[in-house]
């Protein structure tokens, strides 16, 4: 068995492993603040909310969430899937990849967390208002 076939599908995996190794080298314990149980709880709730918002808003053409980022003082437009994976990453690793380079999003296709929450509340209210 030869292990040096070109185009082996494990190339991506090897890349990924390198990334993780590099990342851990740059982040020593004092950077790595473990999440408190309360913080983890918050993120789990956010993930559940996000799932609801996505289910309600994605069919209306909304592609994601707008975050006014205190770290870069920039508005980030984050797609649903990316937002979900960011939150999961936060849970798993205590870090987030929120600060993606902008890719020229259409602001009309993104809503704030508050808008999404209000929208979801409105839907729930109108559904429970049916007698
Ligand atoms: Zn940012």
Higher pLDDT, 8 or 44: 44
- What predicted TM-score, i.e. pTM, was given to this entire model? 0.67
CA of 78 to the centre of ligand 1 (A): 11
Domain interval for residue 86:
34-128
What is the C-alpha separation between 1 and 97, in angstroms, rounded? 39
CA of 69 to the centre of ligand 1 (A): 5
CA of 55 to the centre of ligand 1 (A): 25
Q: Tell me, yes or no, whether 96 lies in a domain.
A: yes
Q: Tell me, yes or no, whether 22 lies in a domain.
A: no
- Rounded mean pLDDT, 20-32: 50
Per residue in 57-98, pLDDT tens? 999 999 999 988 888 888 889 999 999 998 998 898 887 766
Q: At what angle do helices 113-128 and 37-57 cross, to 10 degrees?
A: 70
Residue 118 structure tokens: 């209000």
CA of 6 to the centre of ligand 1 (A): 39
* Rounded percentage of the chain residues whose pLDDT exceeds 70: 67
Total domain count for the chain? Answer: 1
Given a contact cutoff of 8 angstroms between Cβ atoms, the answer to whether 43 and 27 are in contact is no
Q: How far is CA 58 from the centre of its chain?
A: 15
**pLDDT score, position 21:** 47
CA of 96 to the centre of ligand 1 (A): 10
Q: Tell me, yes or no, whether 17 lies in a domain.
A: no
List all residues 6 or more positions away from 71 whose beta carbon is below 8 Å from its beta carbon: 98, 99
Q: Tell me, yes or no, whether 61 lies in a domain.
A: yes
């Amino acid at each position: 068995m030869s292990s040096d076939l070109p185009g082996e599908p494990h190339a991506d995996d090897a890349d990924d492993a390198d990334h993780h190794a590099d990342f851990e080298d740059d982040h020593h314990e004092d950077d790595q603040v473990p999440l408190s149980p309360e913080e983890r709880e918050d993120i789990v709730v956010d993930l559940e909310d996000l799932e609801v918002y996505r289910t309600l808003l994605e069919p209306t053409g909304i592609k994601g969430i707008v975050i006014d980022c205190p770290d870069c003082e920039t508005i980030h437009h984050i797609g649903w899937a990316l937002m979900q994976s960011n939150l999961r990453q936060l849970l798993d690793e205590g870090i987030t990849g929120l600060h993606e380079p902008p890719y020229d999003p259409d602001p009309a296709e993104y809503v704030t967390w508050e808008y999404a929450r209000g929208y979801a509340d409105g839907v729930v209210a109108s559904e429970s208002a049916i007698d």
